[in-house]
Amino acid sequence: MDLSGKVAIVTGSARGIGRAIALKLAEAGADIVVNDIAAASDSLESVANEIRALNRQALAVTADVSSKDDVNRMVDAAANTFGHIDIMVNNAGVTRDQLIMRMTDEEWDTVLNIDLKSAFLCTRAVLRHMLRQRSGRIVSIASIVGITGNAGQANYAAAKAGIIAFTRSLAKEAGSRGITANAVAPGFIETKMTEKLGDKQRQTFLERVPLGVSGTPRDVAEAVAFLASEEAKYITGQVLCVDGGLALG
């Protein structure tokens, strides 16, 4: 897999799956725009330095991906620095778990804005550049709960199901211009997001994984790098589950 000469933006890449994706794409030869919301900006600069240590260029942009102005500023900075944008990875996401009966408007809106609206804002902003280039790769991080649903995660599952439908629509709209759109749906991956689960919840999850173990951020990054590569040029509108078989039910 060779991404030399390509420029990728990876949202929410100060840690976890986003960090692993940024490093994997850099290892494959791409220059990377790393992004995170303000609170994580220290670790963002350290990811940028890890990329530079791989002899790739890195630009760190602090931006809230649910804000149109922030997203446009980030994409303008990427285009001004590198002159082109080839790969957009919509990764940033949060959870605010709650049963529907008790879920607040804020819990619903926060998750829909950061996990779904962000993908629309980032995609709209980079499409301008990709349409002109007549090429591009857009990979969005969904979740298997966007396929299966999950009690206590109606907001998150709805956002992730939205990512899948958005991806399929985008694939139809942009395909004639050489732009592919795919989603990666992780299952149970060890990150800060899943750290908050108790031992019992973790055990219950793992019992349902046919491969019997949790996944790593690197497992997700490998799938993203493939979908971003030349080798995946005839794949669009797909959802690739990286879940050890969990979504099989």
Closer to ligand NAP by CB, 104 or 133: give it: 104
Q: Which of 23, 30, 36, 47 binds ligand NAP (CB under 6 A)?
A: 36
The CB density around residue 21, as the number of other CB atoms within 10 Å, is 32
- Strand runs (DSSP E) across the chain, as ranges? 7-10, 31-36, 58-62, 87-90, 136-141, 179-186, 239-242
Exactly one of 8, 114, 179, 239 binds ligand NAP (CB under 6 A); that residue is 114
Is 156 noted as a catalytic residue in this protein? yes
Region 213-232 residues binding ligand NAP, contact defined as CB under 6 A: none
33 binds ligand NAP (CB under 6 A): no
CB 85 within 8 A of CB 130: yes
CA distance 150 to 144: 9
The pattern of x and - marking residues 74 through 113 that bind ligand NAP according to CB under 6 A reads -----------------xxxx-------------------
Say if CB 16 and CB 216 are below 8 A apart: no
Least distance from ligand NAP to the Cβ atom of residue 176, Å: 28
Interface residue with ligand NAP, options 2, 5, 39, 100 (CB under 6 A): 39
Pairwise CA distance, residues 89 & 236, whole Å: 14
Stretch that binds ligand NAP, among 46-54, 124-132, 167-175, 188-196 (CB under 6 A): 188-196
Pick the binder of ligand NAP from 194, 206, 216, 238 (CB under 6 A): 194
Smallest distance from the beta carbon of 189 to ligand NAP, in angstroms? 4
Piece of 8-16, 166-174, 202-210, 225-233 that binds ligand NAP (CB under 6 A): 8-16
Number of residues that bind ligand NAP (CB under 6 A): 29
| Alpha-carbon gap, residue 126 to 112, rounded angstroms | 20
User: Angle of helix 16-27 relative to helix 41-53, nearest 10 degrees?
Assistant: 20
Q: Residue 146 interacts with ligand NAP (CB under 6 A)?
A: no
Q: Helices then strands (H, E): number in the chain?
A: 10, 7
**Per CB under 6 A, 8 contacts ligand NAP:** no
Q: How far apart are CA 175 and CA 204, in angstroms?
A: 41
Residue 62 — φ and ψ, nearest 5°? -80, 120
- In the complex with ligand NAP, which residue's Cβ is closer, 121 or 179? 121
Among 3, 6, 7, 18, contact with ligand NAP (rule: CB under 6 A): 18
The set of catalytic residues is 156
